[in-house]
Amino acid sequence: MANKVYNFSAGPSVLPEQALKEASAACIDYANSGISILSMSHRSKPIENMFAETEQFLRDLMGIPENYDIVFLGGGCSLLFCMVPMNLLGQNETADYTDTGVWASKALKEAKLFGNVNVACSTKADVYNHIDKNLKLSDNAKYLHITANNTIYGTEWHNFPKPKSGFLVADMSSDFLARKVNVSDFGMIYGGAQKNISCAGVTVSIIRKDLLGKVDRTIPTMLNFQTHIDGKNMFNTPPVFAVYTMNRTLKWLKDMGGVEAIEKINREKAALLYSAIDASKVFVGTAAKEDRSLMNVPFVFKKDVVSDEKNDEMSKDFIEFAKARGLVQIKGHRSVGGFRASIYNAMPIEGVQALVDCMGDYEKKILG
């Protein structure tokens, strides 16, 4: 490419160049077979080996114990939002759910179809600009559900809450492998891959073995996690290409030094961008400082600099100003407005520095 482009999209999002090149080559010839990975049987040995390797990469990078199963599925988290309570929550049982953003709210809504739901906290009235950590937990909850990172609003659980009873379940879609977590602290971790570890089309579920088979309902075959565990992720045709893209992304991360190394880089990137926002005379962050996300950074114009009447016009101007410098996909979500920079694992620190420089130059442009 003649001009470098930095993609700050919240998802589908930036992936390592190395992984993209390897995935691209596999579309023509996978594993020197002369066959595209897109037209290779999922029952073939090369694909079976690739799935096994991908699972092992995950186990190594996250330290996943042997008493946890790993399931790769299509359908996105929107499907998992119902599969989780369908498989884990009995009709007369209660689950605690934290309402910290749009996706947390959607998960909560689906859970109500299968059992009793206690809303342990909600910051909806404050446009989800912080995380309420004073949870009102049930005495007998089957599990506590959290959304680890809230992509739209730029908030993140920096210290995971502990359930009063039962086990912890976390949707980690947008901070998978961005920081070290102790998998044993969770009964289940799940998420869509298109934010941080692959392209769209595959989800990852990490489930403690002793938790399944405990509900009294009949679960449709395809919606039963045990179906896919027993079938070694090959019960039906799986999203092979998305899993291979994950495989190459995990290999890249392993070569980088693993999660500990990437977390250090992620914290440096976030500190760089948040420092620029806090020092700016034009921009201001929207998330509470103590809950700021390492992955998604929303910010807006200061009201005393840009009036509400001028906001739309100026926002478009800054987006075009940034685009001219190769900084794309920074428009904020409509519920927050302004701008959002998603700085996932594959976003280099050079990209964040380029955005910081751009913000500084724009400030000079409008303030003189």
pLDDT tens digits for range 310-364: 999 999 999 999 999 999 999 999 889 999 999 999 999 999 999 999 999 999 9
Sheet of 68-73, strand order: 68-73, 203-208, 188-192, 167-171, 143-147, 94-99, 116-122
pLDDT tens digits for range 263-322: 999 999 999 999 999 999 999 999 999 999 999 999 999 999 999 899 999 999 999 999
pTM over 0.75: yes
Q: Look at residue 335 in the predicted model and tell me its pLDDT.
A: 86
User: Among the options 171, 175, 252, 331, which is catalytic?
Assistant: 171
Pick from 180, 177, 208, 174: nearest CA to 194: 174
Q: Which residues of 316-334 are buried (b: 16+ CB within 10 A; e: fewer)?
A: eebbebbeebebebbbbbe
User: Among the options 69, 96, 195, 252, which is catalytic?
Assistant: 195
Strand, coil or helix: what is 207? strand
Q: Is residue 57 left, alpha or beta, with left meaning phi > 0 and alpha meaning psi from -120 to 50?
A: alpha
Q: Look at residue 35 in the predicted model and tell me its pLDDT.
A: 96
Q: Look at residue 3 in the predicted model and tell me its pLDDT.
A: 75
pLDDT one digit per residue (tens) for the chain, 368 residues: 457 899 999 999 999 999 999 999 999 999 999 999 999 999 999 999 999 999 999 999 999 999 999 999 999 999 999 999 999 999 999 999 999 999 999 999 999 999 999 999 999 999 999 999 999 999 999 999 999 999 999 999 999 999 999 999 999 999 999 999 999 999 999 999 999 999 999 999 999 999 999 999 999 999 999 999 999 999 999 999 999 999 999 999 999 999 999 999 999 999 999 999 999 999 999 999 999 999 999 999 999 999 989 999 999 999 999 999 999 999 999 889 999 999 999 999 999 999 999 999 999 999 97
- The span from the CA of 196 to the CA of 331, in Å, is 19
Q: Look at residue 1 in the predicted model and tell me its pLDDT.
A: 42
The yes-or-no answer on residue 103 being catalytic is: yes
- The span from the CA of 19 to the CA of 13, in Å, is 13
The yes-or-no answer on residue 195 being catalytic is: yes
User: Among the options 69, 103, 142, 252, which is catalytic?
Assistant: 103
